[in-house]
């Protein structure tokens, strides 16, 4: 069974962290992954930096710009991750935009993911119908789960189609804006979380965008299986360094 499916069966609310590979320094990727697992994170979203990250707010955009200047590439990421499964057992998901994957070669990219032990991909600009028609067989061949995003504006028909095509979890964007742009959740957002929960989808939902601390994590997971933190984590390592990761995780989910 894929590690994502196994993790989703655990009887607890899941915490995932997003970070940009190759940032702050190009060789920090593996250290951050290992430190996150030791700190009790349930799965990790590894950002593949891109020059035009449409869904990302200024904090993640800046980290991507610096990572690219550091020399981060798809080839470099796979080189860094080649031995990761000898040390890390939790699910690892690569979040990236479709253009670099297309340039790398979709089949070749998926094969490399399987080789190093990646469990799934999040590709915000790859529409579900295009994926289903053209790429799903490739992903399935290499044991990869493709994770799709939904927003408060996504129609019920499309959500149910995403649920039908998916086999991992659904990334539930808490807002229609970019990452890092919200502070806490209003009643409208909480009602959206409840509405999706009441749809009784076959895939669990994990909330992203706007989670930064224990309060927002608890709000996000009242109706969902888990939550992903990105911008707040990157801001923390900017200020305190990667060795302070355990302290950050404790502010979200105290022991």
Burial class of residue 186 in the structure, from the number of CB atoms within 10 Å of its CB (0-12 exposed, 13-18 middle, 19+ buried) = exposed
What pLDDT was estimated at residue 121? 98
Using pLDDT thresholds of 50, 70 and 90, give the confidence band for residue 185: confident
Domain limits of the chain?
3-252
Name the fold adopted by 3-252.
Answer: TIM Barrel (3.20.20)
Q: Point out the residues that are catalytic.
A: 45, 56
Mean pLDDT of 20-36: 97
pLDDT band for 64, please (50, 70, 90 cuts).
confident
pLDDT tens digits for range 94-124: 999 999 999 999 999 999 999 999 999 999 9
CA distance 100 to 77: 12
What pTM was computed for the model?
0.94
**Quick check: 16 pLDDT over 90?**
yes
């Amino acid at each position: 069974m894929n590690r994502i499916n196994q993790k989703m069966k655990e009887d607890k609310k899941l915490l995932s962290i997003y970070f940009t590979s190759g940032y702050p320094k190009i060789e920090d990727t593996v250290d951050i992954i290992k430190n996150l697992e030791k700190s009790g994170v349930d799965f990790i979203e590894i950002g593949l930096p891109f020059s035009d990250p449409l869904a990302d707010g200024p904090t993640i955009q800046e980290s991507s710009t610096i990572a690219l200047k550091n020399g981060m590439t798809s080839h470099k990421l796979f080189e860094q991750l080649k031995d990761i499964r000898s040390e890390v057992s939790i699910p690892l998901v690569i979040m990236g935009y479709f253009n670099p994957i297309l340039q790398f070669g979709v089949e070749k990219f998926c094969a490399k993911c399987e080789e190093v032990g990646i469990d799934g991909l999040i590709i915000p600009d790859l529409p579900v119908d295009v994926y289903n028609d053209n790429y799903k067989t490739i992903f399935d061949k290499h044991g990869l789960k493709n994770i799709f995003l939904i927003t408060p504006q996504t129609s019920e028909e499309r959500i149910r189609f995403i649920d039908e095509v998916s086999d991992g979890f659904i990334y539930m964007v808490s807002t229609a804006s970019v990452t890092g742009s919200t502070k806490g959740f209003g009643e409208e957002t909480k009602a959206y979380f409840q509405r999706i929960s009441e749809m009784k989808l076959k895939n669990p939902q994990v909330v992203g965008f706007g989670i930064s601390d224990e309060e927002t994590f608890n709000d996000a997971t009242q109706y969902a299986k888990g939550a992903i933190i990105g911008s707040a984590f990157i801001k923390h390592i900017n200020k305190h360094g990667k060795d302070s990761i355990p302290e950050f995780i404790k502010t979200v989910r105290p022991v």
